[in-house]
């Protein structure tokens, strides 16, 4: 019984996700005029449709690793969730005060395969607006930090390597599928560095480590 209480002690921390999604969708619908983001180097990066596979695994990647940490290492989970929520909130604020978007997507395809079909599907359902900083990259880095700096017994070494390799692949995919500019990626990395020192190395991390 005591173990079950420990399992469910921090379920309330997940309550922000639906709030975030509601605000995100509202901001997406309200976007009219937005600032185009991009640098010359973005145009030189080729569109590679096969990167849609790592791009799409982001969703189960975040969920599965996050849930595993929740049950196996509460302190690493709390550090990670503080990391994620801080960046996600900053993202919502940036999107509200500085609506932004891209014009990098290909307008036509000269070939047809399963990856191209995934591209068409995503382009139809996910607009290229409110992309700064890249939450795809930022949350991936948060998951990687939680994985690397959790208790050694939480993941075997091979699993840590697999999660980190998948994370790098997911982050790279954002520019190859033309869903993000390098500016979005670099902004996400910079924000992740700040959040890392706040929640994995700073006084907040010490307070989390001191929790019973």
Residue 6: the pLDDT is 56
What's the pTM value of the predicted model, to 2 decimals? 0.90
Predicted local distance difference test score (pLDDT) of residue 194: 95
> What confidence score (pLDDT) does residue 31 get?
73
Residue 101, classed as helix, strand or coil, is: strand
Domain ranges in the chain are 37-209
36: β partners: 101
What pLDDT score was predicted for residue 204?
86
Give the sign of the dihedral formed by CA 68, CA 71, CA 72, CA 76: positive
Q: Which residue has the tokens 């990626």?
A: 185
From first to last of its 212 residues, the chain has per-residue pLDDT tens of: 344 555 556 777 788 989 999 998 888 888 778 889 889 999 999 999 999 999 999 999 999 999 999 888 889 999 999 999 999 999 999 999 999 999 988 888 888 899 999 888 888 888 888 899 999 999 999 999 999 998 888 899 999 999 999 999 999 999 999 999 999 999 999 999 999 999 999 888 888 888 77
The whole-angstrom separation of Cα 152 and Cα 156 is 7
Question: In this structure, are residues 138 and 192 in contact, taking their beta carbons and an 8 Å threshold?
Answer: yes
Q: What is the pLDDT of residue 5?
A: 54
Strand pairing partners for 101?
Answer: 36, 129
């Amino acid at each position: 019984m005591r173990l079950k209480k420990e399992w469910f002690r921090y379920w309330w921390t997940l309550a922000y996700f639906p709030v975030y999604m509601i605000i995100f969708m509202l901001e997406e619908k309200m976007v009219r005029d937005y600032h185009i983001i991009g640098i010359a180097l973005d145009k030189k990066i080729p569109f590679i449709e096969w990167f849609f596979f790592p791009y799409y695994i982001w969703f189960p990647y975040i969920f599965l690793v996050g849930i595993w940490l929740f049950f196996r290492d509460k302190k690493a989970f709390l550090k990670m969730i503080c990391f994620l929520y801080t960046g996600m909130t900053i993202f919502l604020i940036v999107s509200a005060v500085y609506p932004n978007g891209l014009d990098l997507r290909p307008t036509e395809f000269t070939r047809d395969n399963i990856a191209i079909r995934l591209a068409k599907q995503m382009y139809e359902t996910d607009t290229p607006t409110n992309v700064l900083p890249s939450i795809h990259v930022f949350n991936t880095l948060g998951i990687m930090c939680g994985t690397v700096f959790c208790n050694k017994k939480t993941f075997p070494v091979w699993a840590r390597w697999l999660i980190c390799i998948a994370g790098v692949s997911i982050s790279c995919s954002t520019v190859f599928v033309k869903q993000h500019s390098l500016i979005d990626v670099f902004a996400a990395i910079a924000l992740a560095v700040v959040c890392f020192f706040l929640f994995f190395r700073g006084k907040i991390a010490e307070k989390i480590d001191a929790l019973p």
